[in-house]
Chain A
Amino acid sequence: MLTIVEQEQGEPHETSLETLTLARELADAPLEVVVFGDEGAGVADTLGAYGVGTVHHVVGDGFDTYAPEARAESVVELIEELDPEAVLAPGTDRGHETLAHVGADLDLPVAANCIAVEPGEVYELSRHRWGGSLTEHARLDAETKLLTAAEHEFPIEEATEPTEPAVVEFEPAVDDERFRVKVERFEESDLEGVPLGEARVVVGGGRGVGGPDGYDQLEELADALGGTVGASRAAINEGWRPHDDQIGLTGAEISADIYIACGISGAVQHMVGTKGADAILAINTDPEAAIIQKAEYAVIGDLHEVVPALNEAIEAES
């Protein structure tokens, strides 16, 4: 069992620790993991608690930066050397991408976003489809079984018997060509003037806002969170906001990390535009309003009182 562990400054990512929980379900400790990056070996300090026996630290020029093809090639070489029953990766962007490359290299299937796996000659597994709305039960049969563990589906659990991981440096013979795609640099997000559809935070106001002036508080909230203000069709029809601010069927579809819906009842027309939001916070006086049914979080109350209080609290926070 070989697990790809992602790390930052020697600290394994939580999703990688989750993946180790799955790995222990499939094989007895001690486990083997592979890490990349100059500080990768540092994970050994932590991973002992999780039953890791060997940390294969991939070294060599270029491995400090994320380069999916090169990483995959190294994993393939490790597979050739270790002949693991399975290779696991966390169900993250990088995990999926790396394992897809491995699968392509070896011409083997990959089971993505697994939530349960029964060990055996053939793996009987369950995985997410439709963003978790459906579970697929399937059989995976391959010389090397490639799987990713769905995020936040496995608990982070320490092993019953801690180990002392050995760090083994591994220098693969990866062709330069495999470094053709790599992270060239990192850029901090620029959140100013982000259009509604791309904003990470959207503050929406509906009829409950009561008039064009009521949006000032919403603007303040959006500014504090680096977000953008939108509106429901009802508010647009009243002429309180320009047409471009409309969220919904005939307006923008947002893809925010959070949508803060203020005084919005939750009409279908509107909600369709919010499907791409990861979470919704509804601020509404009516606990039976449709928006409350669809929101992850709610505050029951008048937005004219709640939003200013929230603005103050955020200011106090920063």
Chain B
Amino acid sequence: MSSRELPDAVETVIVGAGVVGNSLAYHLADQGREEILLIDKGPLPDPGGSTGHASNFLMPVEHSKEMTHLTRRSIEQYDEMDTFTESGGIEVARTEERMEELKRRVQSAKAWGEKGRLLETEEVMELVPYLNEELIVGGFYSEGAGTCDPLRAGEIMRERGKELTGGGLVVSPNTEVLDVHVENGAVSAVETDRGTVAADEVVIAAGLWSPKIAEMAGVEIPLTPAVHQMISVGPISFFEDYEGEISFPVVRDMDTQMYERQHGNDLEVGSYQHRPILWDVEDVPSIDEAPLSPTQPPLTEDAFEQSMADALEMVPDLLDDPSAGVRHEIDGLLSQTPDGAPLLGPLQDVEGLWSAAAVWIKEAPAIGEALAQWMTRGWSDIDLHGSDVNRFYEYGNSEAFVKNRADEGFRKIYGIVHPAEQWQTSRPMRTSPFYNRQQELDARFFEAAGWERPQWFNSNEDLVRKYNDELAGLLRGNEWDSRWWSPTILGEHLHMRDHVAMVGDMGFGKFDLVGSDVVEFMEKMAVGRADVDVGKTVYTPILAENGGFVSDLTFARLGPEHYRVITGGAVAGSDRAWFKDHIGDADVTLIDKSESLCTLGVWGPDARNVVDSVTEEDMSHEAFPPYTAQEITVGEVDAWAMRLSYVGELGWEIYAPAAKGQRLWDVIAEAGEEYDIRPVGMGVYGTTGRLEKGYRLYGHELELEYDPSEAGLTFHGVKDADFIGKEAYAEAIDTEDAATLCTLSVDDHTSSAGERRFMLGNEPILDSDGEVIVDDHGRESYVTSAGTGPSVGKHLLMAYLPPEHAEEGNGLQVEYMGDRYPVTVEVVGSRPLFDPENERIRS
């Protein structure tokens, strides 16, 4: 098809020249990559993927900080390339329930530093006069929203990439990838119909075809093509007086899950309300076979019927314009992932293979930039952990799972989704050996990385009555605040503090690392010293070179050349990738024990009495000191235990082979009977217990954008050995923190409506004047975690505060659902609010 020859070898091959592939090519060039090949099976500028049929509007405000910041950064890039039109955007509410949700939008806008405010019906009509006023209760106005031209932006980015590399960026459209060659576990070349190109790195940016490319390398990318129906109506006489693409804000009719936006003299009407229509990628036609483009099959009319009725109701004047008709109607295919977020990062089973899939127009330029940073320097300015492709590692890549979750997730796209809302499909998937016993106890299961984990046990309801006095003032009357929550969690918490509780399985990632270089390797990975005595456990930050958090985890030294790493279930895949990625040529082997070992925590003042009564070993304080690990035998079960606690109590995490897990549970439960041992859920483990103790959680308090000094996790000091992020870490300790992680408590829960409200997290922190607090690095202060501390009798919030506000006793405000609540800074830094000297753990 072309006379141009492909290069024999390049540093990086990018497969897919949609908007994200173009962005990545440019930003890689900008970051110093010199030889890049960007290929696509289709022609340019529109190779036929989703980039070519998107409605091209960007609404920056989302409840996810990551997505909001990516969209903002993308708008900046589109704007800089003169391919952005700031039209503004309005989410309209037809119901009071939606108005509440829009208040939460304002809250998220403030928390993430984006413009956004509520509109009265009249204000909506002034901005968008063609809506049906009678339907509108109000709106959320995102002034910074607008539309872009991703095809043009792609052209510009390709040109810039070519210039930056002096021609080192080669763009080859009409080039089909036939195979991805892998040698010794690393990518070696891409075979195309124009020849084979050797490469150190291959990035899959092939949109809904990404799983097919991944399969060529023997790995999986979990996404499915899904239909988003879109229809374009015109020519509309009303728009004749307005030149150019768009003169009115984009409208999202949230309650019908639709949008209406001007495009020239057309009105584009898109819908996410129709039934989910998922495609098999094999059925997607080739460019030649497709009447329009591969990703624009004809509209499934019956699925769109209600959408038409709703649009006609909302925009009657324009859509009933006698001159206007439906000029374009498609089932637009886009990439739907199991949780709706993109799939980015290294595919850990093949070195040098990266995913840049399931990226929307609105975040693509920023994702290209962030991914280029990640590839070239190991970390990105905007933390992408919520989009890490490895979050589905080993559990979420099957076709059945992807289809189930995509189907379920499609319905949530414009939905009112509670932050704790649970998925319903493909469950249960990963069950611990305790699962049957927990079901017998009427556990309410939440899921994390496929693991079924009890959030609380309905069998513990009696504890709410028992602790009636202590819980007064902490019970949630509002339906939203108490959705996916139970006061039983608080009862379980207090019981644990008074007696003893068993917790498990937490779904931890468990990796054994062995080999002659393992000590050196662990030193490199961890802030904490790794060369400790055998039997020691170390809780440590894991940093990127910038000193930001990649993870926090605990490792134990099991032998001279043997460590065990324990990390949170939800991040196990990403952490595994991070560790594997850094092994390189070292003699270190990673053995994944996440599914072969189960974990049972036993904590509380009576924990020793319970455990000691059934172990062969001496479990005394002297024989089994805190922060150590030993092999023990519990009843009939050979196990391994660490003495530590994430809930601030005396006790152990006991690890046993999964096959013996139920026996372990029964032995402990039986031994605990005389102490009224109770199984308690992750509600205690993950929220109430840890917040009272000021323990940080990765993904909430800890992320790339904050360093250990700001997070109050510098207790390791700076060790002699080199480790990733050491320089930045040392500098962070020496520099005054721009913000410090604090624990706050809510002084008054009373809303303007007289109801007691409880924050759930991600709310903006305001100063006494009502202004959002922003630190010197431009980071807004927001609630990183929220939860009730029953033992301290307060609702607790964590937030990073700049020095002028980070003073114990200082009064501030939190905005929640449109109201402001007074809060007080209880602790600056990591000192626990409960049992500050950690006497319980050490008892």
Contact = CB atoms under 8 A, between A and B. Distances in A.
Q: Do the two chains touch directly in the complex (Cβ atoms below 8 Å apart)?
A: yes
Interface string A281-307: 000000111100100000000000000
A237 B232 contact: no
A144 interface: no
Given A239-B243, A265-B44, A290-B44, A249 B328 contact: yes
Interface string A231-256: 00110111100011010011100000
Contacts, number: 75
Given A207-B152, A266-B43, A290-B44, A250 B328 contact: yes
B7 to A, nearest CB: 16
A234 B266 CA distance: 14
Interface stretch (B234-242, B298-306, B639-647, B742-750): B234-242
Interface in B219-265: 232, 234-235, 239-240, 243-245, 263-265
A243 B173 contact: no
Interface stretch (B45-53, B108-116, B672-680): B45-53
A254 to B, nearest CB: 15
A243 B43 contact: no
A237 B44 contact: no
A293 B287 CA distance: 12
B328 A293 contact: no
B266 A250 contact: yes
A246 B266 CA distance: 11
Contact of A234 (B4, B152, B173, B327): B152
Given A237-B149, A246-B264, A268 B293 contact: yes
A233 B246 CA distance: 13
A293 B43 contact: yes
A284 B264 CA distance: 25
A269 interface: yes
B240 A243 contact: yes
A194 interface: no
A290 B45 contact: yes
A244 B4 CA distance: 39
A298 to B, nearest CB: 13
B328 A267 contact: no
A238 B244 CA distance: 6
Given A207-B152, A267-B46, A290-B45, A272 B244 contact: no
A291 B107 CA distance: 47
A302 B622 CA distance: 85
Nearest to A267: B46
B292 interface: yes
Contact of B232 (A239, A243, A250): A250
A268 B44 CA distance: 10
Contact of B244 (A237, A246, A250): A237
B264 A293 contact: no
Given A239-B244, A293-B174, A249 B232 contact: yes
Contacts of A243: 234-235, 239-240, 264-265
Contacts of A290: 42-46, 173
Nearest to B287: A268
B296 interface: yes
Interface string B277-319: 0000000000000001100100000000000000000000000
Contacts of B752: none
A272 B266 CA distance: 17
Contacts of B264: 233, 236-237, 243, 246, 250
Given A267-B52, A269-B52, A249 B327 contact: yes
Contact of A288 (B149, B174, B239): B174
Given A207-B152, A243-B239, A250-B266, A289 B232 contact: no
A246 B234 CA distance: 12
B525 to A, nearest CB: 46
Nearest to A236: B264
Given A250-B264, A268-B293, A288-B173, A244 B235 contact: yes
B232 A288 contact: no
A237 B244 CA distance: 5
Contact of B46 (A238, A244, A268, A288): A268
A267 B46 CA distance: 6
B293 A250 contact: no
A207 B149 CA distance: 12
A244 B236 CA distance: 11
A54 to B, nearest CB: 48
B44 A272 contact: no
A238 B45 CA distance: 18
A83 B243 CA distance: 69
Interface string B320-338: 0000000110000000000
Interface in B146-162: 149, 151-152, 155
Contacts of A237: 149, 244-245, 263-264
B286 to A, nearest CB: 13
B154 to A, nearest CB: 10
A289 B293 contact: no
B735 interface: no
Contacts of B149: 234, 237
Contacts of B235: 243-244
Given A234-B151, A243-B235, 20 more contacts: A233-B264, A237-B149, A237-B245, A243-B239, A249-B232, A249-B292, A250-B232, A250-B234, A250-B263, A250-B328, A251-B327, A265-B45, A265-B151, A267-B52, A267-B151, A272-B292, A288-B4, A288-B43, A288-B44, A290-B173
Closest 4 CB pairs of A and B: A290-B43, A237-B245, A243-B265, A239-B244
Interface of A: 207, 233-234, 236-239, 243-244, 246, 249-251, 265-269, 272, 287-290, 293
Interface of B: 1-2, 4, 42-46, 48, 52-53, 149, 151-152, 155, 173-174, 232, 234-235, 239-240, 243-245, 263-266, 292-293, 296, 327-328
25 contacts: A207-B152, A234-B152, A236-B264, A237-B244, A238-B244, A243-B234, A243-B235, A243-B239, A243-B264, A246-B264, A250-B234, A265-B151, A265-B155, A266-B46, A267-B46, A268-B46, A268-B52, A268-B293, A268-B296, A287-B2, A288-B2, A288-B4, A288-B174, A289-B45, A293-B43
